[in-house]
Protein backbone atom coordinates (compact mmCIF):
# COMPACT_ATOMS: atom_id res chain seq x y z
CA UNK A 1 0.00 0.00 0.00
CA UNK A 2 1.36 3.40 -0.91
CA UNK A 3 1.62 6.08 1.74
CA UNK A 4 -1.06 8.10 -0.09
CA UNK A 5 -3.46 5.12 -0.06
CA UNK A 6 -2.67 4.68 3.64
CA UNK A 7 -3.58 8.31 4.37
CA UNK A 8 -6.86 7.86 2.44
CA UNK A 9 -7.61 4.79 4.55
CA UNK A 10 -7.13 6.85 7.71
CA UNK A 11 -9.55 9.46 6.35
CA UNK A 12 -12.10 6.71 5.61
CA UNK A 13 -11.68 5.41 9.17
CA UNK A 14 -12.02 8.99 10.44
CA UNK A 15 -8.77 8.92 12.40
CA UNK A 16 -5.81 11.26 12.09
CA UNK A 17 -2.25 10.04 11.69
CA UNK A 18 -1.23 11.27 15.17
CA UNK A 19 -4.21 9.52 16.77
CA UNK A 20 -3.56 6.37 14.72
CA UNK A 21 0.07 6.21 15.85
CA UNK A 22 -0.90 6.84 19.46
CA UNK A 23 -3.60 4.16 19.33
CA UNK A 24 -1.31 1.44 17.97
CA UNK A 25 1.63 2.61 20.12
CA UNK A 26 4.00 3.36 17.25
CA UNK A 27 5.77 6.71 17.13
CA UNK A 28 4.36 9.21 14.68
CA UNK A 29 7.90 9.83 13.46
CA UNK A 30 8.17 6.16 12.57
CA UNK A 31 4.99 6.23 10.51
CA UNK A 32 5.93 9.52 8.85
CA UNK A 33 9.20 7.91 7.71
CA UNK A 34 7.17 5.67 5.40
CA UNK A 35 6.24 8.76 3.42
CA UNK A 36 9.83 8.96 2.12
CA UNK A 37 9.77 5.27 1.21
CA UNK A 38 6.44 5.73 -0.56
CA UNK A 39 4.94 2.59 0.97
CA UNK A 40 3.81 1.41 4.38
CA UNK A 41 4.63 -2.05 5.75
CA UNK A 42 2.03 -4.77 5.29
CA UNK A 43 1.13 -4.80 8.98
CA UNK A 44 0.37 -1.07 9.02
CA UNK A 45 -1.65 -1.43 5.78
CA UNK A 46 -3.69 -4.29 7.27
CA UNK A 47 -4.39 -2.33 10.45
CA UNK A 48 -5.56 0.74 8.52
CA UNK A 49 -7.76 -1.38 6.22
CA UNK A 50 -9.32 -3.19 9.18
CA UNK A 51 -10.04 0.14 10.86
CA UNK A 52 -11.93 1.26 7.73
CA UNK A 53 -14.05 -1.90 7.62
CA UNK A 54 -14.76 -1.75 11.34
CA UNK A 55 -15.69 1.93 11.13
CA UNK A 56 -18.05 1.33 8.20
CA UNK A 57 -19.73 -1.47 10.17
CA UNK A 58 -20.20 0.80 13.16
CA UNK A 59 -17.65 -0.95 15.38
CA UNK A 60 -15.64 1.17 17.78
CA UNK A 61 -12.14 0.05 16.76
CA UNK A 62 -10.57 2.56 19.18
CA UNK A 63 -12.14 0.81 22.17
CA UNK A 64 -11.19 -2.63 20.83
CA UNK A 65 -7.54 -1.63 20.34
CA UNK A 66 -7.31 0.15 23.71
CA UNK A 67 -8.60 -3.02 25.40
CA UNK A 68 -5.54 -4.87 24.08
CA UNK A 69 -3.34 -2.90 26.48
CA UNK A 70 -0.61 -2.34 23.91
CA UNK A 71 2.65 -0.84 25.14
CA UNK A 72 5.06 1.30 23.20
CA UNK A 73 8.36 -0.38 22.43
CA UNK A 74 11.44 1.13 24.03
CA UNK A 75 14.80 1.36 22.35
CA UNK A 76 17.33 -1.11 23.67
CA UNK A 77 21.01 -1.65 23.12
CA UNK A 78 24.19 0.37 23.30
CA UNK A 79 23.69 4.08 23.60
CA UNK A 80 20.07 3.91 24.69
CA UNK A 81 20.52 2.99 28.36
CA UNK A 82 19.52 5.59 30.89
CA UNK A 83 22.11 6.56 33.44
CA UNK A 84 21.40 5.41 36.92
CA UNK A 85 22.23 7.53 39.95
CA UNK A 86 25.14 5.19 40.72
CA UNK A 87 26.72 5.91 37.33
CA UNK A 88 26.27 9.65 37.82
CA UNK A 89 27.92 9.44 41.25
CA UNK A 90 30.90 7.58 39.81
CA UNK A 91 31.18 10.03 36.94
CA UNK A 92 31.17 13.07 39.22
CA UNK A 93 33.70 11.53 41.63
CA UNK A 94 36.02 10.71 38.72
CA UNK A 95 35.83 14.31 37.53
CA UNK A 96 36.83 15.61 40.97
CA UNK A 97 40.00 13.48 41.08
Helix axes 3-12, 42-56, angle to 10 degrees: 20
* Residue 50: closest CA among 3, 15, 4, 2: 15
Whether the Cβ atoms of residue 49 and residue 26 lie closer than 8 Å to each other: no
Return the pLDDT at 44: 97
CA 37 vs CA 2, 15, 22, 31, 73: distances in Å: 9, 22, 21, 11, 22
Hey, is 58 helix, strand or coil? coil
- The stretch 52-59 carries a mean pLDDT of 96
Encode pLDDT of 7-50 as tens digits.
999 999 999 999 999 999 999 999 999 999 999 999 999 999 99
Instruction: Enumerate the domain spans of the chain.
Output: 3-96
Amino acid sequence: MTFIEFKKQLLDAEISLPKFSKLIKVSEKNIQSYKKKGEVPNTIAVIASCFVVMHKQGLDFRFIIEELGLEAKTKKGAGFAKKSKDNETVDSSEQQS
